[in-house]
Amino acid sequence: MVTPSVEHRVGALQRPEGIELFLQIWQPVGAIGGVVAIVHGIGEHSGRYEFLVERLLRRGFAVAALDSRGHGHSGGRHGHIDAWSDYREDVNAFVRYVSAHFMRLPLFLYGHSLGGLIVTDFVLFYPEGLDGLIVSGHPLRPTGSAKPLLVMLARILSRYRPTFAFTLGIDDEALSRDPNVVKAYREDPLVHRKVTARWGTETLAAIDRVRARAGEIQLPLLILHGESDRINSVDGSTELFNLVSSTDKQLRTYVGGYHEPHNDIERETVASAVVDWLLDRTRSIRSYLER
């Protein structure tokens, strides 16, 4: 994916608990129009966003991506957090790192699935310093894993055995209509499929918090969702769109689309929509600064 006109480097964020978080940055050579910081979904990692990264680089955007704790190349127990604030403060450190690296450039957060929940929660606590938010497959209404029995068990075990792990039960075939994407996911050694009881209760609490406080979100917002997503219902993204107070907000749904719009068979259309939205916002920012 990386061409001679692109600089790619990896780094690490040291967290206070001794956990090291893996991150990578792609930077086009020449003028940079803005920066997109990606937060991935549950069980996966930042390396699964190559198609989107390449399309962003082509249009002059730098990209930074984090492997969340317990994921990919990052440290920490797979699928576990002690508290949701672990994710929030990791993203805070990530955003500060990227901001320092790309000073005075427009900065946008992009979160998919669990990452979408992480970034929408994040801006409730740290709304400054960002120029927009993109969320994909948001789990405001999860359907693939939030089964009543699992929810009940997670709430009981979270108190007494918080690190008890169980299989999340996500159907690989529900990720994308492209069989090559599904095959690559199944064979990816960095993918994991288990979460802990504490992760489950903290995630459910984060969903409730975002729903209750979504009206506080005022950033420019682009929401993407496949209408046939069997993991997180598209109704959740519609609900989020209606709840937020942003005057600049868009909801784009894709007929027949599965859980990962950026990896589905319409990924070219999705990437173009993301790039066009970003270009419109960066032009607006430049026009404002040039007044």
- Overall size of the chain counted in residues: 291
Pair 142, 237: CB distance under 8 Å: no
- Which whole-number Å values give the CA distances from 40 to 72, 117, 235, 274, 279, in the listed order? 10, 10, 21, 16, 22
Sheet of strand 61-66: strand arrangement: 6-14, 20-28, 61-66, 34-39, 107-112, 132-136, 221-226, 249-254
Q: Indicate which residues carry an active-site annotation.
A: 113, 229, 259
61-66 vs 34-39, strand pairing mode: parallel
- For residue 63 the two structure tokens come to 């990209």
